[in-house]
Structure 1
């Protein structure tokens, strides 16, 4: 540990602080043997502080591991909002109201099949946003409750409620896991470099996206022929 402290000093690395619960590691659930410590930390030097002056390091809610995850946000308020096209999400099937919502939207639509499908898609997007908002509120309530419980005296009743709240939070996390499993990055990790249809679709899409259709010369004339 002394050598590690010397290394921190030689590299001018200092603790960057945190937000959230004061400890990052917990062991044992009973009051008699419960242990809490701040083992996980973030350190940086002056050059890094100059590059990311608006950073935040958050001790996030943890419900499975003994260690809580540390989220280092270097972007601050500099974020871009991206509009995604409609995609049917596999996690929707985990919601009890999904099938009834599809039937309701289809029955209330009129016209041709494409127009009715468009109505169903738009309705499902609104329905999903509402579900996500309610789920976010529910998860937020669980996290707030955990924060409140962590600040209380670790008696057996409090530790028992912490476990129950973590279980409820994990149930919500299971649905989020299905959502993220459908994301392209996971598919790429599984199938990216293998000779599969996914790889060929990805390569074809990349080729089409990177194709140069025209060039504007120095005089402002657009040239599109070979």
Structure 2
């Protein structure tokens, strides 16, 4: 931050200038980006609706900017506080589905309630796979994902390598 002022000239035709320079160390706010996977949660629509109904003061462009920032921050903290990690959820659902399928394969059969539970867990697992796919698609940001690359180890290594290469230590 620089401030300058002109001092009155006394015996010269030059006007001295006094410049004060102050350095401020301020932290840049953490960058929050919209995640496409939030669109797959029906609750996210209600979070956005509630957050966008908040009233702000200022000119219309300033109000819109404040609302966008507030909605994004609200979504970010909703995701952080309410959302399990997709990878952990996937592993947990896989174990539960495997247990139910092993119980069914042992020949004892499943009750109607257990069959319904198995179908529900398989459906949740498929939704989790879809959300993981959306998450990886947004993270990779490469054109060849649109051309049908499979969810392979190479793909994950490339995505993580790009993230690590973009970080500054």
TM-score, reference length from structure 1: 0.37
User: Which structure features the higher share of helix residues?
Assistant: 2
Higher radius of gyration, 1 or 2 = 2
Q: Comparing both structures, which one devotes a greater share of its residues to strand?
A: 1
